[in-house]
Amino acid sequence: MEYQKCLFGKTVVDSTVSDELSSDEKFELEYYETTNSAEENKRKFGIEVVKKKDEDEKFNIESKIVNNLSNEEKTVKKLLNTLMMYKVTPTTVDDIISDIKSM
């Protein structure tokens, strides 16, 4: 499998966005477009969401990859834009994608 990813965008979540974070807490979210070039005439485009957080001199990374979402790149880019706008985390991305597909 030939798997590639390309950074789509980044955003920061802090206490101004989330009530669950204290004033000195924040984390970064990165959104990637993924491509599986081995898939021919199938859904070769997907996404990856990465959460990065500094905690007590430790670097915590959480990631979720969802492959084979669409055969159209523009569909995945639109999805990535929505995920980034609403600051969707790796923990909730599967549920959000399911909700979007059912609309």
pLDDT of residue 39: 61
List of the chain residues with pLDDT < 50 = none
Pairing label, strands 3-14, 26-36 = antiparallel
Facing residues of 61 across strands?
52
pLDDT of residue 21: 83
pLDDT of residue 41: 64
Domain count, the chain: 1
> By residue range, what is the domain housing residue 70?
3-92
83 falls within a domain: yes
pLDDT of residue 3: 80
pLDDT of residue 1: 55
DSSP 42: S
45 falls within a domain: yes
101 falls within a domain: no
pLDDT of residue 31: 98
